[in-house]
Amino acid sequence: MRITQTMIYRNLLAGAETLRENIETANQQVSTGKKLNSLADSPSGSAELVDLRAELDCIDQYRENAGSGGFFISLAESVLSSAYNTVTAIYTRGSAGASSLYDDAYRTELANEVRSLRDQLLSLANTEAQGRYIFAGSQVTTAPFAVSGDTVSYQGDLVQNGIDVDNGLQVQQNVAGSTVFSKAFSTVEQLLTALESGDQAATQAALSQFKDALGDISQARAGLGVSLAAIQNAGTEQDSRELAIHERQGKIQDANLAEAISQLQANETALEATFTARMVVGQRSLFDYLA
Amino acid sequence: MSSLFAGLHIGERALQAQQFALETTQRNITNANTPYYSRQRVNFIPGDPIGFGAVAPGGGVIAVSADAFRDRFIDYRVTQELQPKGENDAVLSALDQVEALLNESEGQGLQAVLSDFFSGFSSLANAPEDPSLRSQVLVRAQDLAREFTHVYEGLQSIQTSNDRAVEDTVSEINSTTSAIAELNSRIAQAHGLDSNEEYALRDQRQQMLDKLAGLVDVSYWETESGAVTLTGAGGAMLVVEDNSYKMTAVTQPGTSYLQVLVGGQNITSDISSGKLGGLLKVRDSLIPGYLARLDDMAASLIDKVNTQHALGADLAGQQGGNFFASFTPLIPGSSAGAARSISVAITDPAKIAAAGLTEGPGSNANARLLAGIGDSKILGGGTATLEQYYSDLVFTVGAQARTARDASETQGNILLQLQNQRDSISGVNLDEEAVSIIKYQKAYEASARYITVLNELTEEVLGILG
């Protein structure tokens, strides 16, 4: 090929431009740590990054649900544990009242103790946290249990909220108070009436109801325990999923720094060499030798 | 040699010829870096013999003309590569702006606000009666609506700026075609004379043809007069001899953007390459595609959220009203304009219908279902979630930018090779010119020496006579 002046300079320019572009790309990779600096660098990678970010956002939200929903679940669980103990204590007082060893005066005293324990139970059943009555179903703004005489009535509803703690996994966030406490309250009312009337047979009859009352509480506790365990499992699973997503993100977007730096150096050297070579070659023509 | 004086005449001719050749060499050297300059070479022919007979003396030399080196096939191929390159560069420059607008390489685009929006409902489900969570839902919904509008209007403004560029490009095309027509007429006058003037005019015209090729579809051929005939998109005549036909960019009834007309014929949809082709592609095809996607997303979002919202109860137990202002399409069944006009209808956080119908303020049934819209495949005929539909848009923009970038790079490399080929033929090599100078200088010196000898001979003859 016949080489002409303009070719020499055009090729010099084109070569230097390519090297400068390579340097800029490598430099960008080094300074940002990313090899994906525009959508065009990898269209499918960019789209996948959008998907992965959305997935991470989802995981974050599941964690938030597990944390904030989980708070109410553990709270309910621990309240139910206290409630179980309270009902057991009432049963103990009741059993003493059923004994023929004691007189009516003592039974009245027992009844007063039972009533005070019942009030404790009532306060547990009306537990309020962060502005919501946790055993009220969906009627969270009103105390679910009200007492009139010794009759305790439920004013909440049977609504159970689920919360989403993972893809397709929902857990029960609350238990409706009536399913947990109604039996206990009516049994206690029955016991109080029996104790205060000194009716031992009726007291016995009331005591025989306690098994079911305690059963309701245990069952609710077990349900909440299942929720808590599910949350914990989902959390572990999410941790490993998050790790996998971060790895995938890294694969798509992270620059290989060692490679980028060596690219940077190689191109810089090449650029220098191009200019040096041009100093030697391009400057010369036959005119230099004509006297 | 018939006479000494005839010999002097031969010597004079030789001096003239070498001088002409030296001038040509000088022109080559001074234009060594002039773009589009075609190097010239002098044609020498032997002069007619003087006198008759077997010993008729030679007639010396005549420098008849200078030829310019030019390969028309390579010139034409350059214009064919410049056209798609002009298109791709225009597309690329617009897509850079689209990419900045989507802002997905930073992870702060529509995906983030979409996720936040649905997360807002999911968080609300944890404590539906909580006023701060309710407010958060509204704030995030407003952020989402704002981002939709922001991206939509940003895309439209890219469209508008491309539209304005159409007008500028059309006037650039017109000034180029009229320059070519003018050059045509001057070349036709100089044609056949093999003069420097013609070569210079042709070089200028080639430069104009290249410029035009970067701007719009063009093909051309040379006629017998030396003029080039130019046809553009849709076979429209652009230049015939010394006439150029103007393009006009005008608004036509029923179109919101400028249409390109030649001789009353609308050729907008035929224009496919050059800068103008790129601008029109962005304006009429690429951006409308993106806008349609955003509209589909917004329209589905409004529809699904409003429908679900009406199936729940607010804090006061009332059935939910419209969450987003309901969207009334301009054309029934179309979603056009949804992304620009989307706005949140609810202002009172208590009106968010988080609860199931007939359930109390603590119920989260509807909040969860609203959050679940983010995971349901409500787009693309039930094949994609909002997020997936959007990530597909990101892919599309990226892939289109990638295609334009790769093609432009390839065309750039081909052009470099073609320009090198062109220069290899037409360009000036200083070494060659240096050799030419020596060659012509030596010939000049020799001819001068010859005249000196003749002069001495004449002196001698005169001496004998004297």
- β-strand partners of B414: none
pLDDT at B52: 60
Extended strands (E) in A89-199: 128-129, 132-133, 145-148, 151-154, 162-166, 169-172
What average pLDDT does this structure show over A140-152? Answer: 94
Q: Is B397 on the interface with A (CB under 8 A)?
A: yes
Q: Is B424 on the interface with A (CB under 8 A)?
A: yes
Task: Closest CB to B126: pick one of A157, A163, A287.
Answer: A163
Name which of A87-101, A108-122, B361-375 the model is least confident about.
A87-101
Q: Mutating which of A11, A29, A41, A46 best tests the B interface, going by the most B Cβ atoms within 10 A?
A: A46
Average of per-residue pLDDT values in chain B:
92
What average pLDDT does this structure show over B21-50? Answer: 88
Predicted structure pTM score: 0.88
pLDDT at A161: 94
CA distance B99 to B178: 38
Name which of B26-30, B60-64, B416-420, B437-441 the model is least confident about.
B60-64
Task: Closest CB to A50: pick one of B356, B359, B390.
Answer: B390
CA distance B237 to B120: 61
Q: How far is CA B205 from CA A130, B201, B208, in A?
A: 82, 6, 5
pLDDT at B58: 67
CB within 8 Å: B429 and A132: no
Residue A34 has pLDDT above 50, yes or no: yes
- Hey, what are B133's tokens? 């969570």
What average pLDDT does this structure show over B181-196? Answer: 88
Residue-wise pLDDT for A168-182, tens only, equals: 999 999 999 999 999
Percentage of residues of chain B with pLDDT beyond 70: 97
What average pLDDT does this structure show over A58-70? Answer: 94
Task: From chain A, pick out residues whose CB is under 8 angstroms from the CB of B440.
Answer: none
pLDDT at B1: 47
* Between B466 and A124, the higher pLDDT residue: A124
Residue B5 has pLDDT above 80, yes or no: no
Q: What angle do CA B460, B465, B466 make, to 5 degrees?
A: 90
Residue B15 has pLDDT above 70, yes or no: yes
What average pLDDT does this structure show over B244-259? Answer: 91
Extended strands (E) in A52-159: 128-129, 132-133, 145-148, 151-154
Q: Is B435 on the interface with A (CB under 8 A)?
A: yes
Q: Give residue B214's pLDDT band: very low, low, confident or very high (50, 70, 90).
A: very high
Mapped onto helix, strand or coil, the DSSP state of residue B337 is coil
Q: Choose among B24, B55, B19, B50: nearest CA to B37.
A: B24
Residue-wise pLDDT for B354-368, tens only, equals: 999 999 999 999 999
* Between B229 and A69, the higher pLDDT residue: B229
Q: What is the DSSP string of B381-402?
A: TTTB-HHHHHHHHHHHHHHHHH
Residue B56 has pLDDT above 60, yes or no: no
Percentage of residues of chain A with pLDDT beyond 90: 72
Q: Mutating which of B31, B105, B123 best tests the A interface, going by the most A Cβ atoms within 10 A?
A: B105
Average of per-residue pLDDT values in chain A:
92
Q: Is A43 on the interface with B (CB under 8 A)?
A: yes
CB within 8 Å: A50 and B401: no
Residue-wise pLDDT for B366-417, tens only, equals: 999 999 999 999 999 999 999 999 999 999 999 999 999 999 999 999 999 9
Q: Is A44 on the interface with B (CB under 8 A)?
A: yes
pLDDT at B50: 65
Percentage of residues of chain B with pLDDT beyond 90: 77
DSSP category for residue B193? S
- Hey, what are B431's tokens? 């070494």
pLDDT at A55: 95
Sign of CA dihedral B323, B327, B332, B334: negative
Q: How many CB atoms lie within 10 A of CB A218?
A: 14
- β-strand partners of A88: none
Q: What angle do CA A131, A58, B345 make, to 5 degrees?
A: 65
% helix / strand / coil in chain B, to the nearest 5?
A: 65, 10, 25
- Hey, what are B350's tokens? 């208590």
Distance from CA of A201 to the nearest CA of B (A): 42
CA distance B141 to B343: 8
pLDDT at B361: 93
Exposure b/e, B386-403, CB count within 10 A at least 16 = b: bbbbbbbbbbbbbbbbbb
Distance from CA of B95 to the nearest CA of A (A): 9
What average pLDDT does this structure show over A111-131? Answer: 95
Distance from CA of A14 to the nearest CA of B (A): 8
Range of B62-66, B109-113, B307-311 with top mean pLDDT: B307-311
User: B246: which residues sit within 8 A by CB, 6+ positions away?
Assistant: B174, B177, B178, B262
